[in-house]
Structure 1
Amino acid sequence: MHIHNVRGQLFEAAERVLLRDGPDALTSRAVTEEANCAKGVLHRHFTDFDAFLAKLVLDRIRGIEDRTTTLRVAAGTGNVVDNLADALQDLFGPVTVAIVALITFRNGLRARLREAGLTGIPLVVQGTAMIAAYLTAERELGRLADDADIDTLAPTLVRAGHLLFADRASAPPQTDAIRKMVTNVIAGALRPLIT
């Protein structure tokens, strides 16, 4: 395994184990076997397994922060409900849902994430900030009411979205179900289109 690629390969291996076998099966041995490398490779790059998992979470948070910029730029284009439904579908892909379960499952990981300055449930918190940034931009553009309560709408959308996606045993929710939830949550804040 090339030294410049180790972290990425280990992260990808961890995600595969997590998706296939769930959070209780995710161990350093399972990750290194999945990555086809010696167990010592992981411990050469990370102080312990929870430090590795914390870096995995931080890596996924950076992805959400990148998507926040893209979503905010989309404000004023397309349909607000569709934009939100797409963002929630992207946010709650199988890896994110599995990592949120992992954070809930591992006390040591939660402690490491708190040490890194993260509060709440990482990924969910950043997803809420992403949706809030988009809703704020839409409100500024006049597509949401001036009094739209972003501090209530964003976490409501994210938590309701997470509930739709959280069942690992079932297929992801249909786009229509996501759109229906988004429509119901933002109905009072959405300004009608002027034709």
Structure 2
Amino acid sequence: MLLPLRFRAKNICCCRCAFAQKTSAAVAALSHKKHLAAAASLSRKKHLLLKLVAHIKENEEHPLIMMVARFEVSKRQDLLLEALAELSDTPWRLQLIGDGSLRPSLEKLITDKGLTDRVSFLGNQLDVTSSLEESQLLVLLLDWEGLPIPIIEAMRAGLPIIATNVSDINELVSDFLINRNDKDELMKKLK
């Protein structure tokens, strides 16, 4: 039972009223904490969204090219690097997945051509799917090959593919095939 109004002035009230005031204060504090947590969560989400937008903008401004292959004689990372070096006015980034005996000479070529800020070596990867999903183009330049798995993985990721017209690759890729060692044609396709 509440006290008459004349006794409730100046915060004088019965026990139930005092409990209600304390409960309301606790609920208000809890509500305030929830709002702060929601604001912090919103701030984190906003930060992640801005980071994602920046990543998308960077990809639009500097498309990510991927080549997945061992660094051996039959794989032509050197041809790709030579072509990209001549496209210095065109925005691009390159990630090379793989490893092998030619890595030191490729690193030297990258340094000599001044491409160190645009090319990264990711080494051997067990799962290239996530890397391919982040890229905008797969380039696979080969002197000979059977059925290259990176082309199949890039097709699954929905990527455009530039590849050399060797073996059975023309059965998988039709639009962006180049002849072996044709740097000029490669440069046209990359533009």
TM over 0.5: no
Which of the pair is proportionally richer in strand? 2
Which of the pair is proportionally richer in helix? 1
Q: Which has the larger radius of gyration?
A: 2
TM value normalised by structure 1: 0.26
